[in-house]
């Protein structure tokens, strides 16, 4: 798959229908849906990833977009300058701006470097692990332009290794393959230690979930850790020990990590060992719902309980079932929280907004016979900036209750 890098004069033109919200697009909304565009035969034949000039229904230029006729999001705004050229220099400018922000925020090169639309690269995720970056090109245009993107990434950051992660639902929706690869340099031959919130996490960049680590929860790990001094901690859907290892690093007396993935728990154990905390850390592999029920049957009690599940509502069609699942998690977790203890519940579902998730969580706590006050609402860290015009960019919600 290729996409043109020539001047805009040689690019095809696509046009909005009169019913499209052109004002929203001019004011920064980055997407055009298939039902908002004139879909003549020429437009339908454009290869996924093709660059095009976007015009409104009055033929006024609006900017430079990428086109994917097979996707519900048929066009993604790349540059509001219709004369822009999407080449290595263009990528370098965007990456340099993103790097400047992360350098203000963090004193070590472990963070999300590019957060898709909010950093001006729609559909592109880049997580940095020292001198290695993992790129998720989740839109057809980015998949087509990986060469100049990687050249720019190397030029701006000086990193030596670039890996492509091709997993995930979004690439499937874009009609892209699921073949991951080493794009530059080499893949690490072992999990990489990542320092964060005083803890050490082991990130598997080639075989782990997503890019190998979830940077988005960093401030919520820290908030929970501040409540965990001298506490017994339960970390459900723990992955590589996000909440539990931060809690141990900040004075928790013990931590139990629960996850369905044995490899993830092995990485969590390796992280605890690297911290010298293995004697305070235990794991239990199994279904989270079943494990929560089993712990209640054992009359287990914890001072801090955190549940950070995968997206139960990844789409609108899954919303009702997802909200029931969030309610069930809260109902099963609440009885395990000691009197005046902390329950943290998280959602990374785009389709469930904050109010819906909070209401489901509160219902579950109430149905468990517990009373709660809400202490804090957390979101993704600042290396996951939100695009104000795009509600989906504010996907992560973390609610902290005292029961």
Q: What is the pLDDT of residues 6-28, one digit of tens each?
A: 455 689 999 999 999 999 999 99
Would you place residue 2 in the very low, low, confident or very high pLDDT band (cuts 50, 70, 90)?
Answer: very low
Give the pLDDT band of residue 205 (cuts 50, 70, 90).
Answer: very high
- Each domain of the chain, given as residue ranges in start order, spans 8-79, 88-184, 192-402
**Strands (E) located in 211-358:** 232-236, 254-259, 281-285, 302-307, 337-347
Residue 235: band (very low, low, confident or very high) from pLDDT cuts 50, 70, 90: very high
Three-class SS of residue 368? coil
**pLDDT above 70 coverage of the chain, percent:** 98
CA distance linking residue 348 with residue 380, whole number of Å: 9
**Which pair of tokens denotes residue 96?**
């340099």
Lowest mean pLDDT among 1-15, 16-30, 94-108, 189-203: 1-15
Q: Is the pLDDT of residue 260 over 60?
A: yes
pTM passes above 0.85: yes
Q: Find, among 372, 386, 310, the residue nearest to 343 by Cα.
A: 372
Tokens 């629960």 -> residue: 258
CA–CA dist 170, 168 (Å, integer): 6
Q: Give pLDDT tens digits for 267-318.
A: 999 999 999 999 999 999 999 999 999 999 999 999 999 999 999 998 889 9
Assigned CATH for 88-184: 3.30.750.80
Give the pLDDT score at 6.
43
Superfamily of domain 8-79: PUA domain (2.30.130.10)
pLDDT at residue number 316: 87
Q: What is the pLDDT of residue 69?
A: 94
Residues in the chain, total: 403
* 337-351, 361-375, 381-395: least confident range: 381-395
Task: Give the SS3 label for residue 151.
Answer: helix
Fold (CATH) for 192-402:
Rossmann fold (3.40.50)
pLDDT of 9 reads: 61
């Amino acid at each position: 798959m290729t996409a043109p890098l020539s001047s805009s004069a040689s690019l095809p033109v696509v046009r909005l229908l009169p019913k499209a919200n052109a004002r929203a697009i001019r004011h920064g909304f980055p997407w055009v849906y298939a039902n908002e565009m004139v879909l003549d035969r020429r437009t339908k034949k454009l290869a996924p990833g093709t660059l095009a000039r976007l015009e409104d229904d009055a033929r006024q230029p609006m900017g430079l977009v990428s086109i994917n006729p097979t996707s519900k999001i048929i066009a993604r705004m790349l540059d509001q300058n219709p004369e822009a050229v999407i080449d290595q220099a263009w990528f370098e400018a965007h990456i340099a701006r993103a790097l400047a922000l992360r350098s203000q925020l963090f004193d070590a090169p472990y963070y999300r470097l590019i957060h898709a639309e909010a950093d001006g690269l729609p559909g592109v995720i880049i997580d940095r692990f020292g001198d290695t970056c993992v790129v998720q090109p989740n839109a057809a245009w980015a998949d087509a332009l990986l060469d100049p993107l990687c050249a720019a990434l190397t030029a701006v950051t000086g990193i030596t290794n670039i890996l492509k992660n091709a997993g995930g639902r979004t690439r499937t929706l874009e009609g892209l393959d699921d073949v991951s690869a080493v794009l530059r340099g080499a893949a690490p031959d072992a999990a990489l230690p990542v320092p964060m919130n005083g803890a050490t996490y082991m990130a598997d960049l080639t075989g782990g979930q997503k890019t190998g680590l979830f940077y988005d929860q960093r401030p919520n790990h820290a908030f929970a850790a501040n409540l965990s001094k001298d506490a017994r901690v339960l970390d459900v859907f723990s992955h590589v020990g996000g909440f539990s290892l931060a809690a141990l690093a900040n004075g928790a007396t013990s931590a139990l990590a629960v996850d369905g993935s044995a490899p993830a728990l092995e990485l969590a154990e390796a992280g605890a060992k690297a911290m010298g905390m293995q004697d305070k850390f235990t794991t239990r592999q199994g279904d989270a719902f079943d494990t929560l029920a089993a712990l209640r049957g054992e009359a287990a009690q914890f001072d801090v309980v955190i549940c950070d599940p995968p997206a139960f509502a990844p789409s609108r069609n899954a919303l009702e079932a997802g909200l029931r699942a969030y309610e069930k998690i809260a109902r099963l977790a609440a009885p395990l929280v000691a009197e005046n203890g902390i329950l943290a519940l998280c959602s990374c579902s785009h389709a469930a907004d904050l109010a819906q998730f909070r209401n489901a969580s509160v219902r579950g706590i109430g149905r468990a016979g517990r009373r709660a006050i809400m202490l804090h609402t957390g979101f993704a860290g600042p290396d996951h900036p939100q695009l104000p015009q795009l509600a989906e960019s504010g996907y992560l919600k973390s609610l902290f209750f005292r029961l």
